[in-house]
Every structure is written in C-alpha cells, then in structure tokens.
Amino acid sequence: MLLPKPYPDEAVGSVLLRAQQVYGISLKAMLAWIYEMPASRTNHSFHLSTDVDRIATLCGMAPRDFLYEHTVFPYVTACLPGKYKESLEAKLLASRHCRPYPIASMVGNIGVGASTRRYCVRCASDDLVRYGETYWHRVHQLPTVLICPVHKTPLVLTGIPSGLTCGKTSLTLPSPAYVRPVKPPLTMVIALTLARLSQDLLSGRYDHGIDWHDLYRTRARKLGFVHHYGDTASGVSALALSEVYGAKYLRLLDCTVRAPWGSSWPALLLRSSRNQFVSVVRHLLMHAFLDHALVDERLKSLMDKVAKPLRTDFQALDKAAKEAIQREIKRHKSAGTRTTVGHLLHVADVTQPYRHNRSRFPATEAVLTEFRGSDQSERQLGGRAYWRARTPSRWGLSSKREATASETSPL
C-alpha cells in the first residue's frame, strides 16, 4: 500500500487524509501501518512528521524534497543559524529506527495564531478543476498568513482544529460549506507583505548566514529611528511596531509588546545579541514592519520626533542662566551669606547642560569665574574654611581665633 503523490504545496497531514479516504481505513490504522507501531505512540502532526524518510518513500519522493516541499520545516528554521538547522534536518531525516526527535517544540508556534485550518476559496476551486479534489495548502496554515499570497483574497476559517486528530471533523478536506472568511485586523498592504514573506520562508529562499539583528538595525536607522546622539531608537521602534499591528493581533500571535519599550522583544531584535533563537513569527513581524513602517499615518508623529529631535537653544539658555545666577549672587550679598557654584547652577536649572556643554555657556562661565573670587563664594579663591583656620596668615588673618570668627561672621 502506497500513499498518494502529494500535490504542490500540500501539507503532510493533507496527504494522510486523502490516503485515509482512498483506502477507507481509519486514521489510527493508517498511522499504525506507516510507523509500524500503535498510533498512540507515533510522533506526528498535521504540519510535520519525525519519520519523514518513511512517508516520503511511500509517496515516491526523496526524503529531503518531501521535508522542504510538504512540511513547515523550512518555515520554522528559516531564521536559525545554519549549523543548528542542519542538525535538525539530519535528525528528522534519520532512520526511523533511531530515537524519534520530538517535534512539538518545532511546530508549537504554528498553532499559536492559527488554531484552526484555513483555505483560499479560489485555490480550492482551481484544485477541484485541475485535480478533481481539494487539499490543504501549507502556506494557508501559517499563523502570519491571513490572505492568500497567490490570489490576494482573505482566507476562509473552517473551525477544524489545525492538529491531526482522529475526530470525524478533522478528517475532512476543504469544502465550500465553510464560507466564513478571515477579517484581517491589519491593513491590506501589511497583510499581503506578511503572506509574501511567509511564502518566501516556506520556499527556503533565505540565507542562514544572515545576521538578522544587524540587518534590522541598519534598516531601522535608514527609516529614521535614530536618536539625536546617534544610537538606534529601539524603544521608539518597538512602540511604532505595536501601533502598526495593534495589541489584539500581537496578543493572538503571543507576541505582545509591553512597556518598558526599550526592553520589549522588538527592541531586543534591533540590538547586537548572541541569542539567535527567536521565534520566526517575531522575525516576520519585524521584517514586514520595516518594509512598511512609513505607510501608517499614526506613525508620523513618532517618526518626526525621532528624525528631527528638538535642539537645545544654548544661547537663550546661557542668557537665562546668567541672569538667574546674578540674582542669586545679589541675594546672598544682601543677606551676607556664602554659597557654592553647584548651588548657583542648581538654582539656574542648568547643572547637567553646563556640565556636558560648558563651552556653550560663555556668559554663565564669566559670571561664575567672577563669583569664585568674590566674598560670596564658599571656596575663597580655592581655600576652604579648614585651611583658613590652619594657616590664618596666608589669608591675612592675625590668629586662628580671628580666622574662626571670620567663618562665623556673615562675610
């Protein structure tokens, strides 16, 4: 007994469903025959199988061709390092007598956001005319695909669980009875971009040597996500991404973006990191966002704020600081008290700007230089109260008692 030859882009689970209908046996019996063990002990899903060699042979295909053309393996491993991806491929193509490799971790992300099977009405009609029957396409079952990348029409939700179960409902193929189309929560442009990118990943067209973090960071900077001091505005990029997709859609894909924005997953994707094991869904969301970040009108204010940061008017700030410091010095002079440069800068509210941009405050610097040699300065020409008491003659005082008296006096 052989399995039917797979149609173009047909999911491995769809092949088994068609075989079950052709031979008229239960899915349990078919899985037990394929794996030569009870169905309860098999490790199989609708999207992937551990014993690829066995199923490919029964379908008359080379195991590697079957793995890349009829499972989601190229999709879930598209953004992984090349060596790690090759290791997974070797385990899945190994002899079925080897220890089965658990596939739950590989296909887990597929079920998030795509818990039920979907299909394109126009694709099903074309398949019915061309092959005499319909089947489940791989690309339609991906969580980031809401629109058919071929016909550019919304997919139809069936309500059938995406897993390969033995219930009667799950054993059906696409049918016109299911007419509830998906309502994409995204703009058509971004939905089509996600579908196209997902199809590209599924076809294995990406180089596994790409440094994704560096690529995203370079593209984000070209779009204007750059702080005025030169660093990539990763936090603003994360906020902009959440505005494009919306909280509802991100929550559906288990990719919620939360504050603080600088520590969220989109911000981390824009930084150099050794952690290369990021969900392919998050990679796709970032990729599509950078393709169309300037399309959404809601982002204009964020983009303008980052691309054209507010510049400090140092000339006006210097003038205001000079006047505030002069008023404070005059007040201390009238009261007969002393103060410090730090206090004067604090009163003028220019402590940090003055510290980092001292050359931009010439008027303020002139006032402070004059102040340091005045009677109102706590540091008398560099001498502290302790040294005035220790060396009174140096400061024109006749005795330590007079030095102490001068410190307790208002001036």
Q: Give the three-class secondary structure for 269.
A: helix
Residues 159-207 have pLDDT tens digits of: 787 766 545 556 678 876 656 666 777 888 889 999 999 999 888 777 7
DSSP conformational letter for 41: G
Question: Is pLDDT of 23 > 90?
Answer: no
pLDDT of residue 366: 93
In a domain, 197, yes or no: no
Instruction: Name which of 117, 307, 350 is nearest 220 in CA terms.
Output: 307
> Which H/E stretch holds residue 181?
strand 180-181
> Which H/E stretch holds residue 67?
helix 63-70
Question: Is pLDDT of 225 > 70?
Answer: yes
In a domain, 164, yes or no: yes
* b (16+ CB within 10 A) / e for 333-363: eeeeebbebeebbebbebeebbeeeeeebeb
Question: Is pLDDT of 411 > 70?
Answer: no
Mark whether 118 and 230 lie in a shared domain: no
Which of 277, 307, 337 is the last residue before a domain boundary? 307
Q: How many residues does the chain have?
A: 411
Domains in the chain: how many in total?
4
pLDDT of residue 208: 66
DSSP conformational letter for 39: G
Mark whether 43 and 87 lie in a shared domain: yes
In a domain, 203, yes or no: no
pLDDT of residue 312: 73
Mark whether 352 and 260 lie in a shared domain: no
Cβ neighbourhood burial of 204 (10 Å; 0-12, 13-18, 19+): middle
pTM comes to 0.68
Tell me if the bond preceding 100 is cis, omega within 30° of 0: no
Mark whether 318 and 347 lie in a shared domain: yes
Mark whether 115 and 68 lie in a shared domain: yes
pLDDT of residue 103: 58
DSSP conformational letter for 94: S
In a domain, 322, yes or no: yes
Which of 260, 286, 307 is the last residue before a domain boundary? 307
Q: Range with the lowest mean pLDDT among 118-127, 225-234, 332-341, 347-356?
A: 225-234
Mark whether 150 and 297 lie in a shared domain: no
Q: Range with the lowest mean pLDDT among 7-21, 270-284, 388-402?
A: 388-402
Residues 84-103 have pLDDT tens digits of: 888 888 888 875 544 445 55
What pLDDT band is residue 78 in, cutting at 50, 70 and 90?
Answer: confident
The CA-CA-CA angle for residues 152, 243, 304, to 5°, reads 110
| Position with higher pLDDT, 59 vs 383 | 59
Extract the tokens encoding 118: 């979907």
Question: Is pLDDT of 125 > 70?
Answer: yes
Q: What percent of the chain has pLDDT over 90?
A: 22
In a domain, 278, yes or no: yes
What are residue 162's DSSP bridge partners? none
Q: Range with the lowest mean pLDDT among 140-149, 271-280, 373-382, 397-406?
A: 397-406
Mark whether 73 and 166 lie in a shared domain: yes
* b (16+ CB within 10 A) / e for 24-57: eeebeebbbebbeeebeebebbbbbbbbbbbbbe
Mark whether 58 and 180 lie in a shared domain: yes
Question: Is pLDDT of 297 > 80?
Answer: no
Gyration radius (Cα) of the chain, Å? 35
Mark whether 114 and 19 lie in a shared domain: yes
Mark whether 253 and 370 lie in a shared domain: no
In a domain, 200, yes or no: no
Task: Decide: 329 and 371 in contact? Cβ < 8 Å.
Answer: yes
What pLDDT band is residue 134 in, cutting at 50, 70 and 90?
Answer: very high
Residues 336-387 have pLDDT tens digits of: 888 889 999 999 989 888 988 889 999 999 999 888 878 788 776 545 556 6
In a domain, 135, yes or no: yes
Task: Decide: 388 and 407 in contact? Cβ < 8 Å.
Answer: yes
Under 8 Å CB-to-CB from 331, ≥6 apart: which residues? none
Q: Range with the lowest mean pLDDT among 12-21, 45-54, 74-83, 161-170?
A: 161-170
Alpha carbon of residue 321 to chain centroid: 43
Looking only at the bridges linking them, the beta strands covering 180-181 and 116-119 are: unpaired
Mark whether 155 and 20 lie in a shared domain: yes
Residue ranges of alpha helices (H) inside 156-258 are 188-202, 212-223, 234-245, 247-252
Quote the mean pLDDT of the chain: 79
Q: What is the mean pLDDT of residues 34-43?
A: 65
Mark whether 85 and 175 lie in a shared domain: yes
DSSP string computed for 287-339: HHHHHSTTT-GGGHHHHHHHHSPPPP-HHHHHHHHHHHHHHHHHHHHHHT--B
Structural domain of residue 388, as residue ranges?
380-411
pLDDT of residue 338: 86
Give CA–CA dist 403/396, Å, rounded: 9
Q: In what order do the strands lie in the sheet with 116-119?
A: 116-119, 156-161, 180-181
| Position with higher pLDDT, 70 vs 312 | 70
In a domain, 193, yes or no: no
